[in-house]
Homo-oligomer: A and B are copies of this chain.
């Protein structure tokens, strides 16, 4: 059923005349007559009594009128709603990010986005790069912030946009012999005790050596020097806040991405690793491939890249 018929019906009901309803609707009387006839056939009932001086709603027509007005109104609301999504006056944005990005980068961007577009409902999920890219590919996320050791990674069905480098650094207790250095080389860390992070290679925080060997295995170009360096792992601590506690207590040192350095506690010192030895991780925004970014995703990307520059 064409909703234009409903508009005609409502107008005719208001004016109680086919002829009078024709002009404002831009039709002739005969068109109105036929449209009402078509509508009556569609709903299976006479909607108007034809009187000598016009028409009047039947009881069936009266019952239909409220529905017709509701339907046309709802359709108008639907189009307005779509418009709102396009202009960021509504809709939602489903974000995902790796833990280190959740420390400062993403929260700041979300805050700015909320200020700019308060009507958009923002949700976010923390996850690992592989999980996040899968979610983006599956359409469960509109945009994810991921990190890889690879400077030009490829994920099926995912479009990546480089946001920034995230150089590796070492976290030391205040007062450590290397705490005052501008840069630390792996050789400097020989003999240190290590606090290990998660087991997954792509998220590993134990050292550039593992990153290096992983990248060798993948046969990719290797900008990291091979070293004979073998870390001694004393503790495996998953939680970043807990890891800081172990470092602060002098139980060992650990590798952290610079992105997380801003959120470090005062009794821990962060010193960059020599980039020539430990290639920086790259941070990307991931969106579904072959699909236009939603208006909200595009706006969020804009906010992400602006401060990142």
The reply to whether the CB of A71 lies closer than 8 angstroms to some CB of chain B is yes
Q: Is the CB of B92 within 8 A of A59?
A: yes
Chain copies in the assembly?
A: 2
How distant is the Cα of A290 from the Cα of B54 in the complex, in angstroms? 12
Across the interface, name the chain B residue whose C-beta is closest to A59. B294
The reply to whether the CB of A43 lies closer than 8 angstroms to some CB of chain B is yes
- Given A1-B3, A49-B292, residue A90 in contact with residue B74 (CB < 8 A): no
- Given A3-B1, A70-B74, A71-B71, residue A49 in contact with residue B295 (CB < 8 A): no
Q: Is the CB of B45 within 8 A of A82?
A: yes
- Given A52-B290, A91-B63, A291-B51, residue A45 in contact with residue B86 (CB < 8 A): yes
Q: Is the CB of B79 within 8 A of A74?
A: no
- Given A45-B86, A90-B63, residue A1 in contact with residue B75 (CB < 8 A): yes
How distant is the Cα of A161 from the Cα of B296 in the complex, in angstroms? 68
Query: Which residues does chain B contribute within 8 Å of A71, judged by CB atoms?
Result: 71, 74-75, 78
Across the interface, name the chain B residue whose C-beta is closest to A68. B78
Tell me the minimal C-beta distance from A252 to chain B in angstroms. Answer: 47
Across the interface, name the chain B residue whose C-beta is closest to A72. B71
Q: Is the CB of B81 within 8 A of A63?
A: yes
Chain A, interface size category, equals: 35 or more
Query: Which residues does chain B contribute within 8 Å of A68, judged by CB atoms?
Result: 78
How distant is the Cα of A139 from the Cα of B16 in the complex, in angstroms? 12
Query: Which residues does chain B contribute within 8 Å of A1, judged by CB atoms?
Result: 2-4, 75
The reply to whether the CB of A219 lies closer than 8 angstroms to some CB of chain B is no
Query: Which residues does chain B contribute within 8 Å of A192, judged by CB atoms?
Result: none
| Interface bits A1-17 vs B (CB < 8 Å: 1, else 0) | 11110000000000000
Query: Which residues does chain B contribute within 8 Å of A296, judged by CB atoms?
Result: 59
Q: Is the CB of A291 within 8 A of B63?
A: no
- Given A1-B2, A288-B49, A294-B59, residue A83 in contact with residue B142 (CB < 8 A): no
Across the interface, name the chain B residue whose C-beta is closest to A92. B59
Query: Which residues does chain B contribute within 8 Å of A295, judged by CB atoms?
Result: 59
Tell me the minimal C-beta distance from A57 to chain B in angstroms. Answer: 8
Top 7 nearest A-B pairs (CB, nearest first) are A67-B78, A49-B291, A59-B294, A60-B82, A63-B81, A63-B85, A45-B82
Listed A/B pairs (18) with beta-carbon separation below 8 Å: A1-B3, A1-B75, A2-B3, A43-B78, A43-B79, A44-B79, A45-B86, A49-B288, A58-B291, A59-B294, A60-B91, A63-B81, A63-B85, A64-B78, A68-B78, A71-B71, A71-B75, A71-B78
